[in-house]
Structure 1
């Protein structure tokens, strides 16, 4: 090691450590990063650089080493989802289905019929015809994002329309108001 390199290290080690600490957020990792930076500098730092250029070289090298380590860490953390890995995951709880999965189809249809026309159209095309969001957008000549928004709003209104959300009565089916469509079906039953 040359005397000029020793002087460079003594002059910039504290600044490099503070910067490494900001990058890593951890004292141990910061010390390792500074050590690796100085090790690389000892092997590769061009000898004809002025002190400001050498300082810039050290900081750039340290930053690049940090990002290289970060990418390598993220790459190691990624796992391929194999059949074995997927089978070890817990299965979803069957009770976590939406409330309306247990409703009679007629009750859902009656609820959809009570929605405003734009929401009703989207819900009918999505759940009765089985079209995708893009297909519905093409058929109704509206943007796909609008279809998504209408589906969201329709589900929210159906939740309010079909289920009573008062505390202590969660999960109870609300009485659907009498309309020509609802008069033909049986009265709603409680889900609990």
Structure 2
């Protein structure tokens, strides 16, 4: 379906202010800038013919996040079924360093740097072992700092459900890290 020039401008006006946020969220979910671009592009292609519906959405940012998240889950399920690639292979260590930079120990010396690199690698590896939906929840709340109500809206669940899921995700992450720390 082709849109008129005015409809295309309307789509651009509605979506453009949210593209940077969508891309950042997609990077956190996929762990890879190229996959994030593909995911955002897939979402835009799905939404382009639905410009009229976008006009009617009261708060567009959480709605767009929900669409992006659902596309991510669908894509992860398709890849899992096809066995094309393991989820842990979706990105390199450099791609995840932005998240892990908060663990840097600047100025503490070479030994501290080595320990921080070890912790960074362990956390990265542990995150990769989480299920895609668990990883997404940890990214949304602990990395991106989203309020639980916004996450609940994106995932289309009750806010209390987010609290319990976060608790389970953190417990699972803790188990994975502790298992990696055992000699």
Structure showing greater Rg: 1
TM-score normalised by the shorter chain: which range applies? 0.3 to 0.5
**Which structure has more RCO (C-alpha within 8 Å, separation ≥ 6)?**
2
TM-score (norm 2): 0.38
Select the structure that is richer in helix.
Answer: 2
TM-score (norm 1): 0.37
